[in-house]
Amino acid sequence: MNRFAILCAVALVAAGPALADTSRPPVDYANTQLSDPRQEAQAKALMEELRCLVCQGQSIADSDADMAGDMRALVRRRIAAGEKPDAIRQWLIDRYGDYVTYDPPFDWLTAPLWLTPIVLVALGLLLARRSLKRRGRN
Amino acid sequence: MKVTRILIWLPLALFAILLVVVATGIVKPGDRTIHSRMVGKPLPAFTLKPMVANKPGLSPQGFREGGPRLLNVFATWCIPCIAEAPELMELKRRGVAIDAVAVRDTPGDVRKFLARHGDPYARIGDDAKGEVQLEIGSSGVPETFVIDGQGKIAMQHIGAIRRDDIPDIMAALERAK
């Protein structure tokens, strides 16, 4: 067991991170803000609601992955060209599905996601009322 | 009183459901790959400059003249791309036409990569900003799309092509004829 633990530790140290990044410099607008602060605010708000596709737990605003940089550049380019944030979000949904947005639309698949909290609160209130009533009687 | 007697089993029942959910997750993990929604749709419009001097660049026009082709999204900085290189050579040997989108790459790196791992490509487009990658709904490298003779995306293979993926890809190419 002990030997196994040591082996694991050695394996962890020996395993370097996989090199999966380009040697090319990041594209324009990946890390450069738009000059119009209002547009930049719009872009930033949208970037925080788009999922990085290669990191999966982060928004593209948070991620350092090259692909997230490309997606930020895409968002900023399109915002600068006057496109509406919702249209850009839809463009990405058309390619990657709802998975790409952190603001999932309401449909039969996401219904439990939206409705379960409401149902649980209602159930809680009901239980509370029942047990309070009982205590009142005693 | 009778209701309470039934209700007393509710937590156990919920626990059993939870157990089943967790167990299925362990036995059969869900599909975490992000499939392109562009499968079944025509290639979107794009024009990519040639990546290397001796090969043409890429546009959807090139997929509308003749039979089905493979569109391989690759990069020299991507390690699984090296792993699939021999399989792409095998596909080429079987007569499959393969074009490539080189994502965030440089001509020098691509030349070296092709010299070292073989060159299965008829055309290579320079997707410096990863724009075409996003355009076709690809979420990483390597990915390979089967494009039919009309320029429609017929299939997406996510990740490196292994030897045992080749029959599937050949079948998809056959269907796309």
ipTM metric: 0.84
Residue A3 has pLDDT above 70, yes or no: no
Report the top-level CATH class of B49-175.
alpha beta
Gyration radius of chain A's alpha carbons: 23
pLDDT at site A47: 96
Residue B12 has pLDDT above 90, yes or no: yes
What distance in Å separates the CA atoms of residue A43 and residue A131, rounded to the nearest whole number?
50
Decide the pairing of beta strands B98-103 and B69-74: parallel
Tell me: the pLDDT tens digits for B62-104?
A: 999 889 999 999 999 999 999 999 999 999 999 999 999 999 9
What distance in Å separates the CA atoms of residue B156 and residue B147, rounded to the nearest whole number?
9
Contacts A53 to B, Cβ<8 Å = 34, 139-140
Token digits for B66? 């003749």
A90-129 per-residue burial string, b: 16 or more CB within 10 A, e: under 16:
ebbbebbeebbbeeeeeeeeeeeeeeeeeeeeeeeeeeee
Contacts A73 to B, Cβ<8 Å = 129
Residue B121 has pLDDT above 60, yes or no: yes
User: Of A56, A66, A92, which has the smallest distance from its Cβ to B104's Cβ?
Assistant: A66
What distance in Å separates the CA atoms of residue A74 and residue A29, rounded to the nearest whole number?
8
Contacts A96 to B, Cβ<8 Å = 34, 36-37, 137, 139
Contact assignment for B35 to A97 by CB distance below 8 Å: yes
Contacts B10 to A, Cβ<8 Å = none
Alpha carbon separation from A30 to A25, A34, A66, A86, B140 (Å, rounded): 10, 10, 9, 20, 17
Name the least confident of A76-80, B2-6, B77-81. Answer: B2-6
What distance in Å separates the CA atoms of residue A4 and residue B42, rounded to the nearest whole number?
53
Closest residue in A to B142 (Cα–Cα): A20
* A115 touches B: beta carbon within 8 Å: no
pTM above 0.90, yes or no: no
Q: Where are the domains of chain B?
A: 1-30, 49-175
Does 1.10.10.10 match the CATH number of domain A22-104?
A: no
Contact assignment for B135 to A95 by CB distance below 8 Å: yes
Tell me: the pLDDT tens digits for A56-73?
A: 689 999 999 999 999 999
pLDDT at site A16: 47
User: Of B105, B133, B137, which has the smallest distance from its Cβ to A24's Cβ?
Assistant: B105
- E strands, chain B, are 49-50, 69-74, 98-103, 123-127, 143-147, 153-158
